[in-house]
Chains A and B, each alone.
Chain A
Amino acid sequence: MSVATTTARETVQLATGRSRERSAGSLVFLGLLWFSLFFGVMVLVVLIADTAIAGAGRFDADLVTSYDSTLFPERTGFRAGILGSLWLMLFTALMAVPLGIAAAVYLEEFADSRRWYNRIIEVNLQNLAAVPSIVYGLLAVAVMALIGIERKGIVLGGAIALALLILPVIIITTREAVRAVPEEIRQGSLALGATTWQTTWRQVLPSAVPGIATGTILGLSRAIGEAAPLLMLGLASSVRFDPEGMMSPITALPIQIYGLSSSSQDAFQEAASAAIIVLLVMILGLNALAIFIRNKFQRSW
């Protein structure tokens, strides 16, 4: 090959850029990027497979219908924890969702972001979203002391802790959903003589419902997996009856898993593994629901 041909070929390759993308270095780099992308998935697959194998012997009716038992570890169940988690989610949603939506609507539709107090709210929200969840547990302990309730491990306390925890999540996602509603809709409504509140209530909020629902479900799916703040509130891992009111002692699935994981008996470890699969199914189900809502009802204007 003459020098001229080689130079010409190099020029062509440089011009298309193709050969440079295929140099050894950039292929290794691309491989590393692929690896980092799929590393997490690999871990997740190993985690689920390992846990499912460890808990395989316990996928029976006892797992979800009976209470925990120290006498018969091979028949111990998570009825109290599953019901407790569902109860906690219900009361958490009742507390956090209206409050979160109200705060988000204020910040997006009414607040003047140049005012100092509104700026404080902004920075504060970003900060709250990153406060360790265990600290929310301490706060809920203080709230309970404030309203004069001394009892530990009850529905009310757990729900307060989880509601405080997911409030920033709901506010942030609701704000994004509200912000995504185009300005023309508001202007059209205002032009027809509606007030700001009428516009918000009749136009903006209905359009933002799918986004709000997605954020709420993601918040709740985070709440259902939390154990640390509930631990602070003194939730015990062993409760042998169904919850029956706000003041009823309660446990939650993650708390029961935590309680069993330090046990040295193999049968309890097996039960904990099976309970983890139950918990993951609940959480992945909620996540799937959130993604479904987002895809099904997402509008593009």
Chain B
Amino acid sequence: MSSTHTGAGPSFGAGLPGAPIDLGRKARPAETAIKVVLFVSAMLSVAITIGILVALVEPVVHFFAEVPFGEFFSFDEGTRFAVFPLITATMVTTVIALLVAVPLGLGAAMYLSEYASRRARKVLKPTVELLAGVPSVVYGFFAVMFVTPTLLQDILGLGVGFTNALAAGLVLGVMIIPTIASLAEDAFSAVPQALRQGSYAMGANRMQTTLRVVLPAALSGVAAAIVLGLSRAVGETMIVALAAGSQKNFSLNPLEGMQTMTGFMATTAGGENPVGSTSYNTLFAVGLTLFVITFVINMISIALVRRYRQAY
């Protein structure tokens, strides 16, 4: 172990040492080197973010050198580079996904944190999280092979085409249930027990306590969970690439097929566009738009999480 401190320490009669010694700060050259290596590894995550931005910006600059801004930020689905039809399609699938995932995710979270016993929670939580482990390409295949033909066309009798935003949104919603459930459960569990006991003492039952005390108290955490779910839904690719369609469609009708931002990227990357061409660079322009949108959403979610963690 340490060789510098094996000699006589301060004798007991010598009085208290002036300042407490920080044992973590003993200098050793080799350990400083290790610390630098560890620090560099941690900084790499920042480098990755900067890398993402740089990687996206350079082709985007080339892109806008050839395509005018007006054509990219165009609402016209006939325009080759228009991004707004992609954004509205992303909005449609995301809203459907949230309509599925918010009530079901919050319901599952309420049960896990307010009703389930400790042992039941230990089994039920991983079960809900299993949903997150299913690959999105499998969900996409399921949407095309089962949800659209069997559920929507045969059982519900909706006049939907082979690809439609409804099936994609529904399956997307199932996929983000665990995201919302997991974060919302954290927020519910963080609500102090005293609030619940106060509520029971006033004669409220468990439903009233859950809905009128725990839910409002955890509201910023619940909001963070929903916002993170939203971000997941916006960025998910394979489900919408398979089930939503590959045709730009400036429509809000979920029964129609439409192409989302990520769906566009998947189609373009899979196609035969030479690197550096304008159509290849569109990939980066749409990718940057997607990154900026999800970045803003994530920051909102992080800020909300911080707020509910500080509240108690």
Chain A interface residues (CB < 8 Å from chain B): 14, 17, 20-21, 23, 25-26, 29-30, 32-37, 39-41, 43-44, 46-47, 50-51, 54, 99, 102-103, 105-107, 110-111, 117, 120-121, 123-128, 130-135, 137-139, 141-143, 150, 164, 167-168, 171, 190-198, 221-222, 224-228, 231-232, 234, 254, 257-258, 261-262, 269, 272-273, 276, 279-280, 283-284, 287, 291
Contacts and interface: CB of A to CB of B under 8 A. Distances in A.
A103 B42 contact: yes
A197 B35 contact: yes
A258 B242 contact: yes
Contacts of A103: 38, 41-42, 44-45
Contacts of B26: 195-196
A50 B138 CA distance: 12
Contact of A232 (B54, B137, B269): B269
Chain B contact residues: helix, strand, loop or mixed: helix
B177 to A, nearest CB: 5
Given A127-B49, A131-B52, A36 B103 contact: yes
B257 interface: no
21 contacts: A14-B203, A29-B210, A37-B108, A40-B178, A47-B134, A47-B139, A105-B38, A106-B38, A106-B41, A110-B39, A111-B39, A126-B302, A131-B298, A135-B56, A139-B51, A168-B45, A193-B1, A196-B24, A228-B241, A258-B137, A258-B241
Given A33-B108, A106-B35, A139-B55, 14 more contacts: A36-B108, A39-B104, A46-B146, A103-B45, A132-B234, A132-B235, A132-B262, A171-B45, A190-B24, A195-B23, A225-B136, A254-B138, A262-B242, A276-B141
B206 interface: yes
Interface of B: 1-2, 5, 23-24, 26, 28, 31, 34-35, 37-39, 41-46, 48-49, 51-52, 54-56, 103-108, 110-112, 115, 124, 126-128, 130-131, 133-142, 144-146, 150, 174, 177-178, 200, 203-208, 210-211, 228, 231-232, 234-238, 241-242, 262, 265-266, 269-270, 275, 283-284, 287, 290-291, 294-295, 298-299, 301-302
Nearest to B293: A132
Contact of B49 (A124, A138, A150, A276): A124
A128 to B, nearest CB: 6
B138 A225 contact: yes
Given A44-B134, A111-B42, A231 B145 contact: no
Can you list the 6 inter-chain pairs with the closest CB atoms, starting with the nearest? Answer: A132-B235, A36-B107, A225-B135, A142-B55, A106-B38, A102-B41
Contacts of A168: 45
Contacts of A262: 242
Nearest to B109: A36
